[in-house]
Amino acid sequence: MKLIVRYVRRHIGMFLLGILFLSLETFAELLQPTFMAGIVDNGVANLDVAAILRYGAVMLAITAVGAVGAVARNIFASRTSQTIGKELRGDLYKKTQTLSHENIDRLQTSSIITRITNDVTQIQTFVNGLMRIMMKVPIMCVGAVTLLIIQTPSQLPIMCVILLVSGVLIAANMKLGYPRYGQLQKRLDRLNEVSREFLSNVRVVKAFNAEERESAKFGDAAESFASAGVSAARVLAVFGPLINLAVNFGIIALLWLSKAQNSAEIGRLMASVNYMTQVLFSLGMVSNILNNAVRATTSAARVSEILDEVPKLTEPSAATAVTADISGEITFSNVTFTYAGAARPAISGVDFTVKAGETLGIIGATGSGKSTLVNLIPRFYDPTVGCVEIDGQDVRKLATDNLRGAIAVVPQKSLLFTGTIADNLRWGDENADEAAIHAAAKTACADDFVRSFPLGYDTVLGQGGVNLSGGQKQRLSIARALVRKPKILILDDCTSALDATTEARVLGGLGSGAQGATVLLISQRISTVMRCDRVLCMENGLVAGIGAHDELLASCPTYRAVYASQIGGEAV
């Protein structure tokens, strides 16, 4: 809720103007019965048609004012809520762009996306409703009660009783309803989770004859969702009609009292009854508002969680940030890194230097820490202990743009974005000319297949565009890195979908294409890394050995074992 208040406050002028016009509209509506009372008590009672028309003219003028209010508040409400939605979406988006990998790991990508899309819309709908029906209801209620008491002051005590009773009922309704709706949302999440799991694992379910098991799981989730639904709806079923009854008895009391006192003017009595029915309509909306508020609060909490997230990696302050011409020497001094919540470090005591322009192969078992190691260089994560240096400078002291500008990463999973192939390759360097792009694509063995498309480099990828094979994507993402002309090139096992021949051609081409960059090449295949200047062999987060292929074969038992398993014992 605090979040919503904060954003509303930014547009407090528009918001208040909206509420002002809303009040104008509501009061115009509320004044009608009062003047109607005049028609009856002065016009009809005295048989004075001129008086009736006079009152009618006043009512018409009031209606006109009300219409102006209605039009204005509509514009203000729509504008304000859409603007708040836009800003909230924008702030969230910008915030996510500053988050580090560690934050993202924790929040989960899919959940961040839902928050930016669905939850923001939910809040926007709420703000819009706030400036329409939600504010109108209390204004209407208070106004009707006030006018009612002005009309017939003798009704004050009875009104108090009715208001008290309805108030208690509404409070009880909220108290009981609120947690039940929360529960309902939780059970719905569970239901979604179960069906998602079934759908994405359907092969396993069928292969293991587990249909009945999944059916039972789904049945349970659906059952508990249904019972939460029943329990939430029953609260409304109990309180909704009760509130109705309380107000209706107010009407009875009004009629009864005027009968007993025998003094009330008929017109006023009619106006009072009208006000009572207006109160009734307003209170009928309460459950709806409650419902909306519950959802908006949940959404606001989810949105705030992202906005309040503190980026784990901080940019060095401008004063100390070093902008350097990077040549590409990388040093790990005694680096240990532990993932948040992990019991054991992913890598520990890693110590080595790669000279500028050197090609280092990295090999090791699954989970031995290869990817973790290279992720520390562009500061996707910061080491827990020790430090990573480039050209003798701690990477944490370098300006992030400067640092990442000198590095090109080709991740394991090749991602391309909506846009043309050329657009995607220009990620590496926005100002790259056509020749540079073609050259990079040639080095990555991508030029041929790109040219085979009718639109060549202008072929659109992504939504509604051409679908590429895994190998084609990998080659494009290598080309993208080459366009950057990086000082440090990190290839994280990114040739897995290429057949051995193409892989050899691509990696062979890097020698000329990478133009003296320091290359870190992670691979599972020993045939790939053995061509590198030196090889780093990882085991369980520790460095098992580093050196040229022949040295390692002689000195490092882990490397020897890998070699034997792939190339075969006969070659040793």
Partner 1 sequence: MSDKRDVSLPPVREGMANRGKPVEKPKDMRGTLRRLWSLCRGHGRGLGWIMLLSALASASSVFSPFLIGRTINSIDGGLSAVWLIALLAGLYVSDWLVRFIQQYFMASIGQRLILHIRGTLFDAMKSLPLAYFDRHRHGELMSRLTNDVDNISTTISDSLSQLMIYVFTIVGVLAIMLISNVILTLISCSTVVLIFILTRVITVRTRKLYKQQQSLLGRLNGQIEESISGLSLVKAYSRESAMIREFEDCNEQYCTAATSAAITSGYLMPLTSVINNLSYLTIAVVSGIMAARGGIDVGVISSFLLYSKQFSRPFVDIANIYNNFQSAVAGAERVFEILDEQPEPEDVADAVPITRIRGDIELRNVTFGYGKENPVLKNVSLTVPAGTRVAIVGPTGAGKTTIINLLTRFYDVDGGEILLDGVDLRSYRLRDLRRAFGVVLQDTSLFGVTVRENIAYGSEETALEAVRSSAVTAGADAFISRLPQEYETVLDGGGSSLSQGERQLVTIARAVLVDAPILILDEATSSVDTMTEQKIRAAILRLTAGRTSFIIAHRLSTIRDSDVIVLLQNGEIAEMGNHGELMSLGGLYAEMYLTQTGN
Site for partner 1 in 65-84 (CB under 8 A): 66-67, 70-71, 73-75, 77-79, 81-83
Q: Decide: is 447 part of the binding site for partner 1 (CB under 8 A).
A: no
Closest CA to 362 of 506, 497, 552: 552
Question: Could you give the CA distance from residue 408 to residue 480 in angstroms, rounded to a whole number?
Answer: 9
Question: Could you give the CA distance from residue 373 to residue 336 in angstroms, rounded to a whole number?
Answer: 9
Q: Least Å distance between CB 480 and partner 1? A: 8
Among 156, 171, 466, 561, binds partner 1 (CB under 8 A): 561
- The answer to whether 514 touches 354, Cβ cutoff 8 Å, is no
Please identify, using beta-carbon distances, which residue of 355 and 500 lies nearer to partner 1: 500
Question: Could you give the CA distance from residue 209 to residue 203 in angstroms, rounded to a whole number?
Answer: 10
Binding residues for partner 1, rule CB under 8 A, total 176
Strand arrangement of the beta sheet that strand 407-410 belongs to? 407-410, 488-492, 518-522, 359-364, 534-539, 542-547
- Considering only residues 321-350, where is the footprint of partner 1 by CB under 8 A? 343-344
Please identify, using beta-carbon distances, which residue of 336 and 566 lies nearer to partner 1: 566
Q: Decide: is 526 part of the binding site for partner 1 (CB under 8 A).
A: yes
Q: Decide: is 125 part of the binding site for partner 1 (CB under 8 A).
A: yes
Site string for partner 1, 353-392 (x = CB under 8 A): -----------xxxxx---------x-x------------
Among 153, 568, 569, 572, binds partner 1 (CB under 8 A): 568
User: Which of these segments, 219-227, 314-322, 348-356, 511-519, binds partner 1 (CB under 8 A)?
Assistant: 219-227
| C-alpha 210: how far from chain center | 34
Place of tokens 């240096």: 389
Among 146, 215, 314, 555, binds partner 1 (CB under 8 A): 215
In terms of Cβ atoms closer than 10 Å to its own Cβ (0-12, 13-18, 19+), residue 236 is middle
User: Which of these segments, 117-125, 161-169, 330-338, 384-392, binds partner 1 (CB under 8 A)?
Assistant: 117-125
Q: Decide: is 242 part of the binding site for partner 1 (CB under 8 A).
A: yes
Q: Decide: is 255 part of the binding site for partner 1 (CB under 8 A).
A: yes
With a CB cutoff of 8 Å and minimum separation 6, the contacts of 488 are: 326, 328, 330, 377, 390, 406, 407, 408, 517, 518, 519, 520
Q: Least Å distance between CB 165 and partner 1? A: 13
Closest CA to 353 of 403, 391, 406: 391
- Considering only residues 286-315, where is the footprint of partner 1 by CB under 8 A? 288, 291-292, 295, 299
DSSP state of 398: B
| C-alpha 341: how far from chain center | 23
Q: Least Å distance between CB 358 and partner 1? A: 21
Q: Least Å distance between CB 448 and partner 1? A: 18
Please identify, using beta-carbon distances, which residue of 306 and 350 lies nearer to partner 1: 306
Question: Could you give the CA distance from residue 16 to residue 122 in angstroms, rounded to a whole number?
Answer: 21
- Considering only residues 136-175, where is the footprint of partner 1 by CB under 8 A? none
